[in-house]
Structure 1
Amino acid sequence: MTKETKIKVRGYHLDGYQHVNNARYLEFFEEARWAFFEESDAIKTLQKQNIMFVVVNVNINYRYPASLGQTLTIKSKLENLAEVGGKKSTFQQIIYLEDTDTVVCDAIITFVLFDGKTQRAIPVTEEIREMFVGELSN
């Protein structure tokens, strides 16, 4: 399942060159990941268990400068949910200029499930995998 999120470029997103500052793209990607799971029953269940997503690696490519007033479309896809017993999963995220095929930026975001009680990454269980696979197939 791919989720689309739209963000309008504002003045405070810009750097001295009048295009979106490179660090802002990380915020845009994060906003889109939150939107991806916003209504997810799986996320709500994990939050009740004090389990959260923690980013452990970001691989990002800057391809085209976005500027003031443009609207960006961020496409987010849970590309790889770790197999049972595994810990690392990945999101593929791509930012386009709205209504075009112009790629502004793309990234592979690697994350783990993190237990808030033990302060450690935890492996994906069969139960967790089934929650997400069920939701992602809808």
Structure 2
Amino acid sequence: MRHTYECPVRWADMDMLQHVNNVTYVDYLQEARIDMFMAHPEFAGGEELAEGVVVVRHELDFVAPLVFRSRPVLVDAWISEIRAASFTMSYEVYDEDASGRRVYVRASSLLAPFVFATERPRRITDREREVLSRYLEPGVDRTPVAADGSSQYVFPLKVRWSDVDAYRHVNNVKYIEYFQEARLRYLMHLHREGDTFGGIVVARTDVDYRRPILFRLEPYEVDSWVSHVGRTSFVIAAEIRDRTGSVPGGEVLATSRSVLVGFDQQTQRSAPLTEDHRARLLDELGAG
């Protein structure tokens, strides 16, 4: 069984290509997840599940661009795996009409129940397991993305007060935004005068959450590098680090792998990377 959430599409969700920005989809998933826990009376203690979980991992595959319109987009949410102290929620963001289903994003979130008063995880209760099992359906298998390499660009990350949630942690959605900001700065850094770089879009993003990010005046750092280069796509890996402590090289707070694809805005289809762009990326791959 699946839960379906009607998610509003806002004008502010759009990017420069007039598509819903890849970061915004994570917000859609969060809204669908909370709606699922809060909307069904069979979720005894649904408020606890809605508010008392932490995200351990997000996986997103971007299938087709979604453009602005007045009607909501549909988000299906279901449970694809249950373990002792965590569970996986899978999602599809889509439209459906007489001609069939058009999927924009397939995604999953690994979630762990958490007691914020003690800052400790907890096991899933028998009642929670029984209710979650009613929504159990298979997820989608995925192949891992290459992350080999070492830091080639460091972006200073300033946390805004508005990034912090009710538990005084940076909200999980903001991590995706942080990695996007660092990635764009890295790509701008690679550009040389006279280069011809084509358009790109994000095809896939995986994020692992290791430690909470807290508000502070001193910036964190995002290390980025190129871990794979193909003809039409490439991978940028990144880590958010806290280098203020005693851990050599800094403590890793989150990691990311993003697959980016060349994109032709006229045809709205994937396209080969330009020679200049691919050459710069291959230089970075060799350096890493």
Q: TM-score range by the shorter chain?
A: 0.7 to 0.9
Query: Structure 1 residues 29 and 44 mapped into 2: Cα distance closer, same or farther (>3 Å)?
Result: farther
3-state SS in 2 of match to 1:24 = helix
Gapped regions of structure 2 (runs ≥ 5) = 1-150
The equivalences for 1:50-65 within 5 A come to 51-65=198-212
Query: Structure 1 residues 88 and 43 mapped into 2: Cα distance closer, same or farther (>3 Å)?
Result: farther
> What is aligned with 1:74?
222
Query: Structure 1 residues 134 and 105 mapped into 2: Cα distance closer, same or farther (>3 Å)?
Result: closer
CA distance in structure 2 between the aligned counterparts of 1:76 and 1:12, rounded to whole angstroms: 25
In the alignment, does 2:170 pair up with 1:23?
no
3-state SS in 2 of match to 1:38 = helix
Gapped regions of structure 1 (runs ≥ 5) = none
Q: CA deviation at 1:42?
A: 7.9
Query: Structure 1 residues 67 and 91 mapped into 2: Cα distance closer, same or farther (>3 Å)?
Result: same
CA distance in structure 1 between the aligned counterparts of 2:173 and 2:284, rounded to whole angstroms: 31
CA distance in structure 1 between the aligned counterparts of 2:239 and 2:256, rounded to whole angstroms: 6
The structure whose RCO (Cα within 8 Å, separation 6+) is larger is: 1
The share of aligned pairs that are identical, in percent, is 27
CA distance in structure 2 between the aligned counterparts of 1:25 and 1:68, rounded to whole angstroms: 13
Q: 1:102 aligns with which of 240, 245, 251?
A: 251
Matched-pair contact (CA < 8 Å) for 1:42–1:131: no
The one-character-per-residue Cα deviations of 1:99-125 (angstroms, maximum 9, x if unpaired) are 452111001111101011221111346
Which deviates more, 33-42 or 101-110? 33-42
> What is aligned with 2:266?
117
TM-score w.r.t. the length of structure 2 is 0.41
> What is aligned with 2:196?
45
TM-score w.r.t. the length of structure 1 is 0.81
Q: CA deviation at 1:11?
A: 1.0
Q: Computing the radius of gyration over CA atoms, which structure comes out larger, 1 or 2? A: 2
